């Protein structure tokens, strides 16, 4: 098979199993790849390759997928064949194109090429018999929406992908260290990082994934189990969990800002086959909260406004946690307390700032703040830290650091965050930035072309935490 056909099949596999809507720009690139690949294969051979890359791919049998998305892909393929005056494949002419009315609240998506898939991707339809070697990737049960059920945590956002990429490209930052992730959501970043450590570098010693919403935490724990356990979970087990969680989301709806306590079924999370509408703790379950490389993994509920006492950690990770203005002060206060090792039992609520309008003045203000950051020549290389209340450099690497990936949805929000960081006596530097590519983006449709910036936060001078 030629390179063009292989590229088409891989692109189609990634788009299909990540549940990317066929209205997104990514599918126009699938169309271009289809036109290029027809120079290498006949329509009949292309049909066979295309179907094996998505609808007949072995990944379809590993987890229940979104039936509406499958129907949309079928319709897209039928239209693509019609536009090219090719005979429609038999599967596209069957009655499978009937409208789907019963769509689940949550569906399993596989992000091919992430985590274990980054080094052992498989062929994605590129070999003679693609069904014999399914590509690996991170599989998550999540919502296809953005803010649903009064939380942003039920779906994967673009900043999580950028942070996961950057950390796995710089594994020394967390190798052998104790890591805490804030706002872990459904577990994309943590699943990618924890399945990516190979070679000589030791993995993190400990990884604590935190969030606040009780249903998000249940999904987080389930997705970590799904991706970390050595023996794959059975499809029937996933179907029961999917149905159960869908019912719980509807029946246990919470009000905006309401927090319900979450009691983890530590150290196991399994479903009871006898009670399909309940999540239960099964003491003889096989999955341990330790990865095969030895990292201790834990899921914890954490409310930034009233945080519980946390174990000491070395590195804080977070993606897309900077969005709500009233949560910025308690978020920064929590980060500072963790970095300093004080971690008070509770943090007082801060007065919410009055939102300001977006205008060029705010844009200039953010630019002035970021102009203080001494960027290195290479994007992604760590920069020198600038002390925000003066000109002094903090050259010594702090014992504890935080890496916060921020998708800039407004200049105002970023300005408020950076101002609060300085106000609370933390140093920050911009260590990486990326613009999400609409051509290959697999996550939320409204995230494309929005820059993601990763800031390194640390303590200043004498406030710096002592060495371990």
The phi, psi pair for 338, rounded to 5°, reads -70, -45
> What's the whole-number mean pLDDT along residues 56-78?
90
Q: How far apart are CA 362 and CA 416, in angstroms?
A: 10
Q: Where would I find the H helices in 234-359? A: 235-251, 328-340
> What's the whole-number mean pLDDT along residues 208-224?
92
The whole-number pLDDT of residue 229 equals: 82
31-66 per-position pLDDT tens digit: 999 999 988 888 888 888 998 999 889 898 889 999
Q: Where would I find the H helices in 54-203? A: 67-83, 90-93, 158-169, 188-194
The whole-number pLDDT of residue 389 equals: 34
Residue 381 confidence (pLDDT) above 80: no
Cα–Cα distance list, 358 to 116, 320, 447, 451 (Å)? 42, 20, 19, 17
The whole-number pLDDT of residue 432 equals: 96
- Please name the residues in contact with 41: beta carbons below 8 A apart, sequence gap of 6 or more: 1, 2, 5, 49
């Amino acid at each position: 098979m030629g390179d063009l056909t292989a590229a088409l099949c891989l692109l189609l596999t990634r788009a299909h199993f990540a549940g990317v809507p066929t209205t997104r720009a990514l599918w126009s690139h699938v169309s271009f790849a289809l036109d290029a690949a027809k120079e290498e294969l006949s329509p009949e051979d292309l049909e066979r390759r295309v179907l094996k890359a998505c609808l007949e791919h072995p990944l379809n049998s590993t987890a229940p997928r979104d039936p509406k998305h499958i129907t949309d892909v079928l319709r897209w393929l039928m239209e693509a064949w019609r536009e090219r005056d090719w005979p429609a494949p038999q599967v596209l002419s069957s009655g499978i194109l009937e409208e789907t009315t019963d769509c689940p609240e949550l569906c399993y998506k596989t992000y091919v090429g992430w985590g274990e898939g980054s080094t052992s991707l498989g062929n994605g339809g590129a070999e003679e018999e693609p069904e014999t070697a399914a590509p690996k990737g991170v599989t998550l049960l999540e919502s296809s929406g953005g803010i649903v059920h009064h939380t942003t945590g039920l779906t994967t956002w673009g900043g999580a992908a950028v942070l996961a990429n950057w950390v796995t490209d710089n594994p020394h930052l967390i190798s052998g260290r104790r890591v805490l992730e804030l706002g872990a959501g459904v577990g994309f970043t943590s699943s990618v990082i924890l399945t990516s450590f190979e070679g000589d570098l030791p993995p993190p010693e400990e990884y604590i994934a935190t969030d606040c919403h009780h249903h998000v935490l249940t999904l987080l724990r389930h997705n970590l189990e799904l991706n970390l356990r050595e023996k794959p979970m059975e499809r029937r087990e996933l179907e029961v969990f999917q149905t159960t969680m869908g019912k719980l989301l509807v029946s246990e709806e919470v009000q905006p800002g309401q927090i319900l306590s979450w009691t983890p079924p530590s150290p196991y999370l399994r479903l009871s086959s006898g009670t399909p509408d309940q999540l239960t703790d099964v003491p003889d379950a096989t999955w341990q909260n330790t990865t095969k490389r030895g990292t201790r993994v834990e899921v914890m509920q954490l409310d930034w406004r009233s945080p519980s006492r946390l174990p000491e950690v070395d590195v804080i990770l977070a993606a897309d946690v900077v969005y709500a203005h009233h949560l910025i002060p308690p978020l920064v206060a929590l980060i500072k307390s963790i970095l300093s090792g004080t971690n008070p039992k509770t943090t007082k609520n801060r007065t919410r700032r009055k939102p300001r309008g977006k205008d060029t003045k705010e844009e200039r203000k953010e630019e002035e703040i970021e102009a203080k950051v001494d960027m290195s020549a290479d994007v992604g290389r760590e920069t020198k830290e600038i002390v925000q209340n003066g000109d002094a450099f903090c050259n010594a690497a702090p014992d504890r650091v935080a890496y916060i990936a921020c998708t800039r949805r407004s200049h105002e929000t970023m300005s408020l965050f950076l101002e609060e960081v300085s106000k609370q006596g933390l140093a920050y530097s911009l260590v990486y930035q990326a613009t999400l590519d609409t051509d290959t983006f697999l996550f939320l449709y409204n995230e494309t072309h929005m820059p993601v910036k990763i800031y390194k936060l640390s303590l200043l001078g004498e406030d710096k935490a002592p060495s371990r």
